Amino acid sequence: MSSQNNVKGIVKQFITDNYLVASGVDGIGDNDSFMEMGLIDSTGILELLEFVEEAFTIKVDDEEVIPDNLDSLERLTLFIERKMKHADR
Amino acid sequence: MKGFDMTEFHKDVLKIDCEAEIDRISEFINEQVRLMRREGAVIGLSGGIDSALASELCVKALGREKVFGLVLPEKESNIVSKVFATKQAQKLGIETETVDITPALEGLGTYKRRDEFVKQTFPEYDPSCRIKITLPPDLLERDAFNIFTLTIDDGKGNQKSERLNKSVLNGIVAASNTKQRTRMVCLYYYAEKMNYIVCGTTNRSEVVQGFFVKYGDGGVDIEPLAHLYKIQVYQLSEYLGVVKEIINRPPSPDTYTYEVSDEEFFFRMPFDMLDHLLYAWENDVPVDDVCSVMGLKEDQVMRAFRDFNSKAKSTEHSRNMPPSLF
């Protein structure tokens, strides 16, 4: 789980399984905005946070719940990697 | 969506001809009562502006003898709600009845079930604490997801807030929504008994974004305000002389013990701004034009549009008939 590809793959699988099918969206690019695609609503974001915290054993603080950190596969992957690095220290 | 003529978007775009609009809505109410072969309308008076306006319009359409007001408080309602609702009914001279729905909610376990979910977040919570649920404020000023926060206040200066997880949010909402659904049951009891319709009170700003409870306040026979933005509800209410205290009262869901406004709970910006942006979003007004008319930056308008899109999409099922193979 240490490489970016692994993190991204796990997150992508979760997004695909839980949001893409329900939204009738065929695929998602690394930089596509979840918000602009209408993939994630108010309960969806809570679901995503719970998944991320559990799967990668990190704690996401309220002030970190912003689009800059979470609103695409790329942003989310980088954010998780940053959090995991901090947790390792 | 159709192309947009910029001459249609300006700061007064939502101003309406009150007299003509009242005639149009009155005709609609009258026609629907006739088509459904009913004799009048029952309306739930909450003490808020939407139900007050709907009651005014029903009286215009049907006459005060054919309009019945139901006041349906529960133990957690703001005490002024009942007072204002009764005052509005008295102003119109309509017959009313007040039914306290607290025993029904206790029977359903509304308070107990909700409190159990609150305790999952705050184990120290006891029912003497006030609670509220809110979304992040200032939608236009900063990017933030629609994350619900639960706040408890013990009334002694101790306040705690925590981001909700999905199961707790769903549990609290499910329990709280039994309040609106119980009111719907009461309204239909009286409507069927009297051969009246149930008149809804949901306005356009709420309909488009799904700010109503499916089979709760959304469970009605007609929705005479569904085409009116909230600021148009205010225009008509002023024109018709709705009770002043109701007009001056900040709109609130009146569902949680800690007073929370509709803006804090759901809309994330003041109604005047919200309604113009919502109109622009619904009518595909170019973002540049919205910026120049509203004095906003592009990222602010885009934040609002994203929020509308997300809320409209996630609540689409509430506006549609249940899917079936019929």
Set of chain A residues whose Cβ sits within 8 Å of the Cβ of B146: 41-42, 45
Q: Which residue has the tokens 């101790």?
A: B158
Among B138, B141, B145, the residue to mutate for chain A (most A Cβ within 10 A): B145
Average pLDDT in the B143-168 region?
90
pLDDT at B2 over 60: no
Same domain, B38 and B163: no
What is the dihedral sign for C-alpha A12, A16, A17, A22? positive
Task: Supply the pLDDT for residue A5.
Answer: 66
Q: What's the pLDDT band for B275 if we cut at 50, 70, 90?
A: very high
Q: What's the pLDDT band for B93 if we cut at 50, 70, 90?
A: very high
pTM of the model: 0.91
| Percent of chain B surpassing pLDDT 70 | 98
Same domain, B39 and B162: no
What ipTM did this prediction achieve?
Answer: 0.81
Domains in chain B, number: 2
Same domain, B189 and B218: yes
pLDDT: is B288 or A37 the higher one? Answer: B288
Residue B182 host element (H or E) = helix B166-194
pLDDT at B255 over 90: no
Range scoring the smallest mean pLDDT among B92-101, B232-241, B264-273: B264-273
Backbone angles phi, psi at B89, to 5 degrees: -65, -40
Same domain, B40 and B89: yes
Same domain, B120 and B183: no
Tell me if chain B has a CB within 8 Å of the CB of A55: no
Convert the pLDDT of each residue in B195-214 to its tens digit: 999 999 999 999 999 999 99
Among A46, A51, A63, the residue to mutate for chain B (most B Cβ within 10 A): A46
Same domain, B18 and B153: no
Same domain, B19 and B65: yes
Range scoring the smallest mean pLDDT among A67-71, B90-94, B191-195: A67-71
CATH code at A4-88: 1.10.1200.10
Residue A21 CA from chain centroid, whole number: 16
Which of B119, B139, B168 is the last residue before a domain boundary?
A: B168
Same domain, B60 and B102: yes
Distances (CA, A) of B53 to B200, B227, B230, B284: 11, 14, 11, 29
Distances (CA, A) of B267 to B53, B140, B212, B274: 21, 11, 12, 8
Give the bridge partners for A72, in sequence order. none
Tell me if chain A has a CB within 8 Å of the CB of B297: no
Task: Supply the pLDDT for residue A56.
Answer: 95
The CATH number of the domain where B215 resides is what?
Answer: 3.40.50.620
Task: Supply the pLDDT for residue A89.
Answer: 62
Mean pLDDT of chain B: 93
Tell me if chain A has a CB within 8 Å of the CB of B316: no
Q: What's the pLDDT band for B5 if we cut at 50, 70, 90?
A: low
Same domain, B123 and B249: no
Q: What's the pLDDT band for B258 if we cut at 50, 70, 90?
A: confident
Tell me if chain A has a CB within 8 Å of the CB of B16: no
Same domain, B28 and B157: no
Average pLDDT in the B38-65 region?
98
Per DSSP, A64 falls in state: G
Set of chain A residues whose Cβ sits within 8 Å of the Cβ of B143: 66-68, 71
Tell me if chain B has a CB within 8 Å of the CB of A42: yes
Phi-psi region of B296 (alpha: psi -120 to 50; beta: other; left: phi over 0): beta
Set of chain A residues whose Cβ sits within 8 Å of the Cβ of B170: 43
Average pLDDT in the B298-312 region?
90
Query: Range of B116's domain?
Result: 110-168
Convert the pLDDT of each residue in A40-81 to its tens digit: 888 888 999 999 999 999 999 888 988 889 999 999 999 999
Residue B92 lies in a domain: yes
pLDDT: is B8 or B303 the higher one? Answer: B303
pLDDT at B6 over 70: no
